[in-house]
């Protein structure tokens, strides 16, 4: 199957959406499918206001339409609600082509945390954007129920996975963490206001607090909490080592739809402390985590969990299963063959070049 994947989130951004789409693409290609991606690095971009790491494509509508027409995909999936997602949505609706979307981020709550405006102001846009989709892919039952409460009930479950070859117990200790006073309490993710990091960094539990990640709030939080250890962004073996060195993984976010870092931490044998909110409440069990409205209590409880149970629990989250769920949710898209190009040039060669640039 030829699948067009349209996303406003892609490398060099470091977040759960990018990592999910990257892992999905690998699994689909391994299974013999062809992925054609339309993402911001193909366009002129500007920095997202208040979040310079995120680049927003400029005047992309005509080029998105051209690429989709030339790709002739069997299915179109729109991963994000940004400029590229809007352009692809517009092309699909105008041409009568079915498409699917995903609800990766609880955008009303995310925007509310950044603007201090009520989340209800942003729900009309979410309803408008996703309403024409054949299906909206959601990672947990709680997210599907939330969308249904807003009139978006054509949802399809698409779970997440973890690479257990990379994230596993028994890795060497991270050199920046191994000599810190214990218990070591770790956060991994974007360092931004919507992640509610103040709730973690303000906890009174003894030991050491470590933050892995980068983002617009990095410098302000490092100045405000000088006793915490800010390691910046880590990836690959370094990230896995940080997970495994920690005694507890702390997830203070109240706005994530899933929390890929949760299962990565568990796969390294590290129990989780979190608030009892959608995301953690959907995917964690009392055996490997402690959820409490008092984050200090959650940390204390998580530290009593048995580590080998954590990696056993994480093994149930498979990227291959995630890819199969994604495929099952797609809507087939029979497109008519494109007209021959004028001037004697075959369309096939141009299409082949675009495929190489978009894969």
Do 293 and 342 reside in the same domain of the chain? no
Do 310 and 196 reside in the same domain of the chain? yes
* Tens-place pLDDT, residues 256-307: 889 999 999 999 999 999 999 989 999 999 999 999 999 999 999 999 999 9
Q: Is the pLDDT of residue 356 over 50?
A: no
Q: Is the pLDDT of residue 211 over 70?
A: yes
Residue partners of 165: CB distance under 8 A and separation at least 6 = none
Could you tell me if residue 168 is inside a domain? no
Do 324 and 310 reside in the same domain of the chain? no
Q: What is the CATH number of the domain that holds 18?
A: 3.40.50.2000
Mean pLDDT of 129-149: 96
215 burial class (0-12, 13-18, 19+ CB within 10 angstroms)?
A: buried
53 burial class (0-12, 13-18, 19+ CB within 10 angstroms)?
A: middle
Give me the pLDDT at residue 350, please.
Answer: 41
Could you tell me if residue 171 is inside a domain? no
Q: Is the pLDDT of residue 349 over 70?
A: no
Do 150 and 212 reside in the same domain of the chain? no
Q: Is the pLDDT of residue 342 over 50?
A: no
Do 279 and 332 reside in the same domain of the chain? no
Give me the pLDDT at residue 124, please.
Answer: 95
Lowest mean pLDDT, pick from 77-81, 118-122, 248-252, 298-302: 118-122
Do 125 and 147 reside in the same domain of the chain? yes
Do 300 and 326 reside in the same domain of the chain? no
Give me the pLDDT at residue 347, please.
Answer: 38
Give me the pLDDT at residue 257, please.
Answer: 86
Where does the pLDDT of residue 166 fall: very low under 50, low under 70, confident under 90, or very high at 90 and above? very high
Tokens standing for residue 103: 């609800």
Sign of torsion, CA 38 122 45 96?
A: positive
Do 332 and 297 reside in the same domain of the chain? no
Tokens standing for residue 154: 């054509």
Residue partners of 33: CB distance under 8 A and separation at least 6 = 1, 2, 3, 327
Q: How many domains does the chain have?
A: 2
Could you tell me if residue 211 is inside a domain? yes
Could you tell me if residue 285 is inside a domain? yes
Give me the pLDDT at residue 348, please.
Answer: 42
Do 103 and 223 reside in the same domain of the chain? no
Could you tell me if residue 245 is inside a domain? yes
Give me the pLDDT at residue 314, please.
Answer: 97
Tokens standing for residue 333: 């898209």
Could you tell me if residue 103 is inside a domain? yes
Range of the domain at 240: 184-314
For residue 121, what is the DSSP state? G
Do 334 and 292 reside in the same domain of the chain? no
For residue 15, which of 215, 281, 244 has the smallest C-alpha distance?
Answer: 215
Do 296 and 326 reside in the same domain of the chain? no
* Tens-place pLDDT, residues 44-93: 998 787 667 778 899 899 999 999 999 999 999 999 999 999 999 999 99
Where does the pLDDT of residue 345 fall: very low under 50, low under 70, confident under 90, or very high at 90 and above? very low
* Tens-place pLDDT, residues 177-189: 999 999 999 999 9
Mean pLDDT of the chain: 91
More confident residue, 79 or 355: 79
Do 136 and 233 reside in the same domain of the chain? no
Give me the pLDDT at residue 339, please.
Answer: 53
φ/ψ of 13, rounded to 5, equals: -60, 145
Query: What is the share, in percent, of the chain residues with pLDDT greater than 90?
Result: 81
Lowest mean pLDDT, pick from 12-21, 213-222, 241-250: 12-21
Mean pLDDT of 140-150: 94
Give me the pLDDT at residue 336, please.
Answer: 55
Query: What is the share, in percent, of the chain residues with pLDDT greater than 70?
Result: 92
Q: Is the pLDDT of residue 357 over 90?
A: no
Mean pLDDT of 146-169: 96
């Amino acid at each position: 199957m030829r699948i067009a994947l349209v996303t406003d989130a892609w490398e060099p951004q470091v977040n759960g959406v990018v990592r999910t789409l990257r892992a999905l693409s690998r699994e689909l290609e391994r299974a013999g499918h062809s992925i054609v991606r339309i993402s911001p690095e193909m366009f002129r971009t500007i920095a997202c206001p208040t979040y310079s790491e995120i680049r927003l494509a400029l005047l992309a509508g005509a080029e998105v339409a051209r690429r989709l027409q030339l790709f002739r995909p069997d299915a179109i999936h729109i991963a994000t609600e940004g400029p590229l997602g809007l352009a692809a949505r517009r092309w699909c609706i105008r041409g009568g082509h079915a498409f699917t979307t995903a609800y990766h981020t609880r955008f009303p709550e995310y925007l509310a945390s950044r603007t201090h405006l009520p989340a209800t102001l942003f729900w009309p846009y979410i309803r408008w954007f996703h309403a024409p989709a054949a299906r909206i892919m959601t990672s947990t039952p709680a997210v599907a129920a939330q969308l249904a409460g807003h009139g978006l009930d054509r949802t399809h479950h698409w779970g997440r996975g973890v690479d257990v070859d990379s994230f596993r117990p028994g890795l060497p200790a991270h050199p920046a963490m191994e000599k810190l006073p214990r218990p070591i309490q770790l956060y991994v993710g974007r360092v931004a206001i919507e992640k509610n990091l103040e709730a973690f960094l303000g906890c009174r539990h003894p030991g050491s607090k470590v933050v892995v990640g980068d983002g617009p709030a990095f410098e302000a939080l490092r100045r405000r909490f000088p006793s915490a250890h800010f390691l910046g962004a880590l990836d690959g073996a370094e990230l896995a080592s940080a997970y495994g060195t920690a005694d507890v993984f702390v997830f203070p976010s109240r706005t994530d739809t899933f929390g890929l870092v949760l299962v990565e931490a568990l796969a390294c044998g590290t129990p989780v402390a979190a608030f009892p909110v959608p995301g953690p409440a959907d995917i964690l069990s009392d055996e490997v985590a402690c959820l409490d409205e008092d984050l200090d209590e959650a940390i204390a409880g998580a530290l009593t969990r048995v580590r080998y149970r954590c990696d056993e629990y994480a093994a149930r989250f498979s990227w291959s299963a995630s890819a199969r769920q994604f495929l099952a949710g797609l809507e087939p898209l029979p497109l008519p063959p494109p007209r021959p190009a004028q001037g004697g040039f075959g369309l096939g060669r141009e299409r082949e070049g675009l495929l190489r640039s978009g894969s």
